[in-house]
Every structure is written in structure tokens, then in C-alpha cells.
Amino acid sequence: MNEALRLRISTADDHPAISDLLDTVFHEEIAREHREASAGVFEPERSLVIEDAGAIVAHTNVLSRDLTVPGAVVPAAHVTGVGVLPTHRRRGLLTRMMHRQLHDVAEAGREPVAVLWASETKIYPRFGYGPACARLTFSIMNREVRLPAPPAEPAGQLRMGDPQDLLPAVAKIYDQLRPERVGWSDRDDRWWRVVLADPKDDRDGATKLWAVVHEGPGGPTGYALWRVKDSWDERGPNAEVQVREVAAADPETYLALWRFLLGIDLSRAVTVRLAAADEPLQYLVDEPRRLGPALLDGLWIRVIDVPRALAARRYAAPVDVVLDVTDPILTQNTGRWRLTGGPDGATCERTSDPADLACSITELGAAYLGATSLASLAAAGRVRQLTANDPTVAFGWHRRPSPTEIF
Ligand SMILES: CC(C)(COP(=O)(O)OP(=O)(O)OC[C@H]1O[C@@H](n2cnc3c(N)ncnc32)[C@H](O)[C@@H]1OP(=O)(O)O)[C@@H](O)C(=O)NCCC(=O)NCCS
């Protein structure tokens, strides 16, 4: 490692140079509106840069947000903005930053887990991040799928408009649903600014972002965000509806929102980037294959503090198990831990009892959101089940995670 490359904590003044670096490594030119919104959530004291001769050549940062996990909402270090200049890649800079960041997060003692999206799936397992949340994308032939008819007397109605104008209702629904939705991160006003930033340059020829809110007799019960990419060819209209988010408090709202999105005039396709692996839409349409589902990775979880993380979430069934965990980076996690709990809560303490299951911190992260099965990881040889006491069912959850944004 070249010691001339100095790793330091950022200052607020570094934000423009960091944005330039991220533009370079991600081969893009982020619009000013996005830069300004991201400056609003930037936490310089949790951001690390590496300098070479005074120029920033590498960066990563942590954003302090909460994440919904099975049965609980926990503070989670949201890791993002990871990049190393092409001139400095594969010299260990990312490794240096990741190790420092993990130690910093552990020492701060605020977050029991860290979470991120990976640009490439090979990058983060070596740092203890496990794939915790498969997600679906849909590429829907909307003229070839039918949804059930709406109720004869619908309880609500749809109101369409600019997301900024409808934000009070949208944010209210989001906050109401969030405690139950594994994989959702909290959004204050600054985050809504990030989420709803909609510069023309980023639309790739599509319309502005639209919102629709479902209003029931007692207030809003759901919303959707989408845009439309217009297209015409010799067969006529061929527009694509690009769905960003759908949130519904009840089945009637869910059906109403999807009937609206799949029925937009002049469209022949509807695409969805972030659907849960068990997205209810699959069970609602008459021809689910025409949804064109594809399974991708979603959130990656890194357990920072084993006892706090395991005691923070709830379990689908009673569990009393000894886990033998290996963590080469945050070595305080290494050792045997007794996890006792169930649907109402859990405790996790160090033990010298014999282990039921052995795994690395990466596999524990993968299983943390209740979506990646410990038994499947064992079948892949990534987890060793040492006794008949198998905690797979307890680690599961009744619904799959459904992340709403790529941060
Ligand atoms: C990903 C990135 C940050 C890696 O930085 P780096 O400083 O080159 O990483 P390191 O030198 O510390 O590499 C650590 C190890 O991970 C591997 N690795 C790192 N990035 C990889 C990638 N994109 N694909 C495959 N392997 C990768 C390296 O080969 C190395 O393995 P080795 O020690 O067995 O040789 C850098 O390539 C980059 O900025 N890429 C473009 C932006 C991006 O994808 N950022 C991540 C956003 S989530």
C-alpha cells in the first residue's frame, strides 16, 4: 500500500470534489438538482476520502438512517458513494476504506447493522456484507394481463398530480406503512428531496415524475410514483410506463393502484425495478408469466454488532440456538452466541456452550432480513449446521423485504 495516499475524514467543502469523483467512476454526469439534494443529506463526519497529492481519488460515506427489519426498526449505517478513480483501482484503496468504515461504525455504537446496494455482486462479501434481499424486476406486457374487477362500490378514489404537491399524503402513507415493511428506510424532508429530485436530463426522454394517491373515507391509503416514456411506431402507440414505487395499506388500494398503472392509455409495457420477491401483483393477475419477472440482488446487510443486531429483530418462531460466528474484520463478533427469542423479542449473549450452527458474518448478514434461508446457505456449504437444532424457520419472516429506493 502506498502510504502517500492519505485517508482522512471529509469536510463539507469536499462535497463537490466527491461528486466529481462519483461522476467519473459511475460514467455519468449527475444533474445539479441531484447534487444539491445529495449535499443536503451528506454527513461529512461519516464520509472518508483518500487523497493523492491533494486530489481526492477514493470515497465512501455513511448516511444515518433507520431500516425496517423483521419486527423492528433499527438504526442502520447506509453505506453509499463508494468509488475509486480508474487510475487508482485494484491497489487496495477500497479495502482500506471499508475496514476503516466498519471500525468507525462499530466504535460509534449507534448502528448494529450496515446496509448497501452493490454495483457488482462480487465486491462486498469479503467485507462481511451478505445478499439479504432478493428483489424482482418486472417487464410487463400490460395488454396481456388482466386484473380482477374493482369492487362495485369502491371505497376510495384516485388523485393524480405532481409528487411535490401530493407529498403530504405520500409521506404520511410511507410513514404509516414503514414500521411493517422490511427493507424500507426512513425518509425525512431531506430524503424526500433526494427521492423526488427529477431533473429533465435524467429522464431519458420520459415524462416528469407523476404521483397518484388513493384516498379512502378515512384519508390516504396508498400511492404510486411513475413516469411514461412515449413511443410510436408503425403499429401505433407503444409507450412504456416506468413504475418507481407502489405503496398500499390494503388490498383494495393495491388493486386500484395497479389497475391504474397497467391501464394507462397508449402504453404497451410497464416496467418495475423494485418489487418484492413475493410481490402480491404476481398473485393478482391472470397471466403472471407476462409480468416478465427477473430475480436480482437488492439490499446487502453487514452485521456490525452481533448481540445487538440479533436481539433487535424478531423471529418468526421460538428460537434457542448457539451460533458460532467468524468475523475477521470486527473480531469482537467472533465466537459463540446464544440467541433466544421468538415473535415477541430476543436476547443474544456470549456463551461457551457447544454450537448448533457455524457461519461467517457474511452469511449472518444474508439471513438477517428473513429472506435468505440459512438452510439454503447450508446446502451451498456456506453455513455448517452442526446439530439438529436448525434456526432457519425462526430467521424467516412472513413477508419478503421490499426496498423502495436505491440509495
Ligand atoms: C469497486 C471499486 C470501488 C473497487 O475499488 P478498488 O480500490 O479497486 O478495490 P480493492 O483494490 O480494494 O479491491 C479489493 C478486492 O476486490 C476485488 N474487486 C474490487 N472491485 C471489483 C469489481 N468491481 N469487480 C470484481 N472484483 C472487484 C479486487 O479484485 C480485489 O480482490 P483481490 O484482493 O483478490 O485482488 C472500484 O473499482 C470502483 O470505483 N468501481 C466503479 C464504481 C463502483 O462500482 N463502486 C461501487 C459502488 S457499490
138 is known as an active-site residue: no
Ligand 1: does its nearest atom lie under 6 Å from the Cβ of 121? no
Ligand 1: does its nearest atom lie under 6 Å from the Cβ of 90? yes
pLDDT at 233 > cutoff 80: yes
Ligand 1: does its nearest atom lie under 6 Å from the Cβ of 100? no
**pTM for the whole structure:** 0.97
Which CATH superfamily, name and number, covers 136-296?
Answer: Gcn5-related N-acetyltransferase (GNAT) (3.40.630.30)
Fold category of 306-395 in CATH: Nonspecific Lipid-transfer Protein; Chain A (3.30.1050)
Assess whether the region 6-111 and the region 136-296 belong to the same CATH fold. Answer: yes
pLDDT digits (tens, 9 = 90+) for 366-400: 999 999 999 999 999 999 999 999 999 999 999 99
**Least confident range of 1-15, 98-112, 126-140, 154-168:** 1-15
407 is known as an active-site residue: yes
> Which candidate in 124, 129, 223, 395 is catalytic?
124
pLDDT at 2 > cutoff 80: no
**Ligand 1 mutation target, pool 26, 60, 89, 100, most atoms within 8 A of CB:** 89
Ligand 1: does its nearest atom lie under 6 Å from the Cβ of 27? no
pLDDT digits (tens, 9 = 90+) for 170-213: 999 999 999 999 999 999 999 999 999 999 988 999 999 999 99
Rounded mean pLDDT, 244-251:
98
Query: What SS3 string covers the chain?
Result: CCCCCEEEECCHHHHHHHHHHHHHHCCCCCCHHHHHHHHHHCCHHHEEEEEECCEEEEEEEEEEEEEEECCEEEEEEEEEEEEECHHHCCCCHHHHHHHHHHHHHHHHCCCCEEEEECCCCCCCHHHCCEECCCEEEEEECHHHCCCCCCCCCCCCEEEEECHHHHHHHHHHHHHHHHHHCCCCECCCHHHHHHHHCCCHHHCCCECCCEEEEEEECCEEEEEEEEEEECCEECCEECEEEEEEEEEECCHHHHHHHHHHHHCCCCEEEEEEEEEECCCHHHHCCCCHHHHCCEEECCEEEEECCHHHHHHHCCCCCCEEEEEEEECCCCHHHCEEEEEEEECCEEEEEECCCCCCEEEEHHHHHHHCCCCCCHHHHHHCCCEEECCCCCCHHHHCCCCCCCCCCCC
4 confidence band (pLDDT: 50, 70, 90): confident
Class of domain 6-111: alpha beta
> Which candidate in 138, 254, 315, 407 is catalytic?
407
Rounded distance from Cα 325 to ligand 1 centre (Å): 26
Rounded distance from Cα 238 to ligand 1 centre (Å): 40
Q: What is the model's pLDDT at position 261?
A: 98
Q: Where are the domains of the chain?
A: 6-111, 136-296, 306-395
